[in-house]
Chain A
Amino acid sequence: MSIFEYNGSALVAMVGKNCFAIASDRRLGVQLQTIATDFQRIYKIHGKLYIGLSGLATDSQTLYQRLVFRHKLYQLREERDMKPETFASLVSAILYEKRFGPYFCQPVIAGLGDDDKPFICTMDSIGAKELAKDFVVAGTASESLYGACESMYKPDMEPEELFETISQALLSSVDRDCLSGWGGHVFVVTPTEVKERTLKTRMD
């Protein structure tokens, strides 16, 4: 079995009208055994920039620590927050540094740019960026998520409808994946506010 599937995860981000949503499951497992059901895999970089890290949890946390460190250095030197595009390039560069011994994670980055334009992007474990206009998915439930998002997504949704759509896509996908689930976590980010919600799901 792939090392990317050792802990199990489901990650998805969607673009709406002047807003975005990023969602994940809450399970941390060791293969088929569930260790925790309150695991965080979406991290805040700043008020309008979030990163979700799917794949091997230990590498995700290490990578997150390095990203926070680099972002803090940037803030000190530039006296401002990073733009999502810049941050995506930073993540990509850090991943590619480890080209021949990679961090076993697939990141999903979502943020609002300086004119509040939503930005979403995913990457493979060695930093190949994939920018998308509609939605991106990652983790062990990625195939199910592709199917669900492809059917449920429509462009220019308002924040409330976007929340409903991303939640339905996440819930129906994780129920068909043994390695992810046990609850969900959704962030809906608009220029004025961030709504963070926890979802209850099947516990099996």
Chain B
Amino acid sequence: MASKQHANWSPYDNNGGTCVAIAGSDYCVIAADTRMSTGYSILTREYSKICKLADKSVMASSGFQADVKALQKNLAARHLIYQHQHNKQMSCPAMAQLLSNTLYYKRFFPYYAFNVLGGLDSEGKGCVFTYDAVGSYERVGYSAQGSGSTLIMPVLDNQLKSPSPLLLPAKDAVTPLSEMEAVDLVKDVFASATERDIYTGDRVEIVIVNAGGIRREYTDLRKD
């Protein structure tokens, strides 16, 4: 009889990808590349990691895209129930709390998903929420998640450094840039990350949320 087989199957994979979000005084920019990889292979060059959860909240997720899909489906169902019960769209800070709870609900078999949630709060100000895989979250002025985050984060710090969270009285976390400058910065940091991160590339999808609604742009990145 053959010796016992070892269980070497994993329920998780890492599909890579990078997500960035920047909040301004009256807008929010959420961006992610459109490459989906596994190991050294590219599965597709046109996979959107960005999901519209409500009128004024947009989520970008990297990590394991099967888990991300399950998470998006879950949030969509919860948001539908919310709309039926309250007859309105969920606000972005409420969606942020819901996302945290949803992630923590699976604390001991987590969604392998690294999310940034961006949108407008109830006052119309831009907001960004950044998460770990088990739901720890924070409201920030800008954030990067995923495979290229270590390359992008110091550049965002350098360009947008928000006041220290330790300052009293608390300062606003929004960045001083105009909407157009923020979009250009996002294009620049993705172009840089693509040079050195094999999991980032092909194209960057940029979603801009402002009082006028949601707008989408695309910019090409290196395909190698």
Interface residues, chain A, CB within 8 Å of chain B? 143-144, 146-148, 150-152, 168, 171-173, 175-176
Q: Are B154 and A150 in contact (CB under 8 A)?
A: no
Q: Is B13 engaged at the interface, CB distance under 8 Å to the other chain?
A: no
Q: Is B155 engaged at the interface, CB distance under 8 Å to the other chain?
A: yes
- Cα A57 to Cα B154 in complex, Å, equals 25
Q: Are B157 and A146 in contact (CB under 8 A)?
A: no
Given contacts A143-B151, A144-B150, contact A151 B157 (CB under 8 A): no
Within 8 Å CB of B195, what residues of A? 150
Q: Are A148 and B150 in contact (CB under 8 A)?
A: no
Within 8 Å CB of B150, what residues of A? 143-144, 147, 176
With both chains docked as a complex, state the minimum distance between the C-beta of B167 and any C-beta of chain A, in angstroms. Answer: 14
- A selection of 20 A-B contacts at a CB cut-off of 8 Å is A143-B151, A144-B151, A144-B153, A144-B154, A147-B151, A147-B189, A147-B193, A147-B196, A150-B151, A150-B193, A150-B195, A150-B196, A151-B188, A151-B192, A168-B158, A171-B158, A172-B154, A175-B154, A175-B157, A176-B153
Chain B 188-219, CB-CB to A under 8 Å as 1, else 0, gives 11001101100000000000000000000000
The 10 A-B residue pairs with the shortest CB-CB distance in the complex, in nearest-first order? A147-B151, A172-B158, A150-B192, A172-B154, A143-B150, A151-B192, A144-B154, A146-B196, A151-B155, A176-B154
With both chains docked as a complex, state the minimum distance between the C-beta of B146 and any C-beta of chain A, in angstroms. Answer: 13
Closest to B195 in A: A150
Contacts between the two chains (Cβ within 8 Å), count:
46
- Known contacts A144-B154, A147-B153, A148-B154; 18 further A-B pairs (Cβ under 8 A): A143-B151, A144-B153, A147-B148, A147-B151, A147-B152, A147-B189, A147-B192, A148-B155, A150-B151, A150-B195, A151-B188, A151-B189, A151-B192, A168-B158, A172-B154, A175-B154, A175-B157, A176-B154
Chain B 165-198, CB-CB to A under 8 Å as 1, else 0, gives 0000000000000000000000011001101100
With both chains docked as a complex, state the minimum distance between the C-beta of A144 and any C-beta of chain B, in angstroms. Answer: 5
Given contacts A151-B189, A151-B192, contact A146 B151 (CB under 8 A): yes
Residue of A144, A147, A168 contacting most chain B CB atoms (<10 Å): A147
Within 8 Å CB of B158, what residues of A? 148, 152, 168, 171-172
* Interface SS majority for chain B: helix
* Interface SS majority for chain A: helix
Count of chain B residues near A, Cβ 8 A: 15
With both chains docked as a complex, state the minimum distance between the C-beta of A181 and any C-beta of chain B, in angstroms. Answer: 12
Contact for A176 among B148, B157, B188, B192, CB less than 8 A:
B157
Closest to A143 in B: B150
With both chains docked as a complex, state the minimum distance between the C-beta of A176 and any C-beta of chain B, in angstroms. Answer: 5
With both chains docked as a complex, state the minimum distance between the C-beta of A155 and any C-beta of chain B, in angstroms. Answer: 15
- Cα A171 to Cα B153 in complex, Å, equals 13
Given contacts A146-B196, A150-B192, contact A172 B151 (CB under 8 A): no
Within 8 Å CB of A147, what residues of B? 148, 150-155, 189, 192-193, 196
- Cα A148 to Cα B159 in complex, Å, equals 11
Closest to A137 in B: B196
Within 8 Å CB of A173, what residues of B? 154
Within 8 Å CB of B154, what residues of A? 144, 147-148, 172-173, 175-176
- Cα A120 to Cα B60 in complex, Å, equals 39
- Cα A140 to Cα B96 in complex, Å, equals 33
Residue of B148, B152, B192, B193 contacting most chain A CB atoms (<10 Å): B192
